[in-house]
Amino acid sequence: MNINDFDKLLLATLDDKQFTRGERQALVKVLDEAAPSPQQLALYRHRAFELARQNLGQRNGIFEWLEEVVKVLAPVEPVKTIESNAFFSPGDDCPGRITDLIRQAKRTIDICVFTITHDTIADAIVTAHRAGIAIRIITDEGKSFDAGSDVSLLRRQGVDVRIERTDYHMHHKFAIFDGSKLLNGSYNWTRGAAQHNQENFIVTNDPSLVKAFARVFLQLWELYT
């Protein structure tokens, strides 16, 4: 969204001398789609003040309008620092890190992994499910029936599981926690990966990566109905 488009959008809200709820929602939607940088938001705020100055003395309620516009354009909270960490097996306690993330989740856990055979991780998933955390799991059909697979157990406990049933493999190994933290890497959630294999995963709160993987998860979830 260039500055001229932004000016037109704001000027349209000045016609009735109010910044209504509907206009606020429309501006929020435009900003969500445009995803402006902090610098662009600062420029938009500057333009809002310029438009207010230009209309000062000509319209009643201009300061009320400006106050409501700036509420939308001002950052709700400081920009979060991106934190990313890498874990390797054998060596690092990969199962421990995964179970920590499961236990720390407050609302949702979306898991998309080729196979799950590590009982400690499965137990943590069941505990989180019983605590009211909304959990969705996508896994591969061929691996879900392997000896030691915990998928059937998780289903019996009421965890929502969907299975890939094509001639190919669902080979992802990622999980998203509370829509804000991503785990992704080569690491399968198995005892062999923890004890013997050379594996890795990263944990990050990078919003762009979380969003990308969340989009893929939703696509697969709808595909494997």
pLDDT of 57 over the 70 cut: no
R_g (Cα) of the chain, nearest Å: 24
Q: What percent of the chain has pLDDT over 70?
A: 91
Question: How confident is the model over 119-153, as pLDDT tens digits?
Answer: 999 999 999 999 999 999 999 886 666 656 888 88
Residue 206 phi, psi dihedral angles, 5° rounding: -60, 115
- Residue-level pLDDT at 219: 95
Q: At residue 42, what are phi and psi to the nearest 5 degrees?
A: -60, -40
pLDDT at 60: 62
Place of tokens 């209309």: 55
**Residues taking part in catalysis:** 171, 173, 178
Q: Is the pLDDT of residue 56 over 80?
A: no
Please say if the pLDDT value at position 59 is more than 60.
Answer: no
Is the pLDDT assigned to residue 16 strictly greater than 90?
A: no
**Per-residue pLDDT, 165:** 82
pLDDT at 124: 96
CA 22 distance to own-chain centroid: 26
Mean pLDDT of 17-36: 80
Confidence at 78, pLDDT banded by 50, 70, 90:
low
For position 145, what pLDDT does the model report?
62
State the Cα–Cα distance between residues 181 and 97, nearest whole angstrom.
Answer: 13
pLDDT per residue as tens digits for the range 148-190 = 688 888 999 999 999 988 888 999 999 999 999 999 999 989 8
Highest mean pLDDT pick, 33-37, 49-53, 127-131: 127-131
Instruction: Tell whether the model's pLDDT for residue 77 goes beyond 70.
Output: no
Output the pLDDT for position 58.
58
* 16-30, 92-106, 122-136, 205-219: least confident range: 16-30
Average pLDDT, the chain: 86
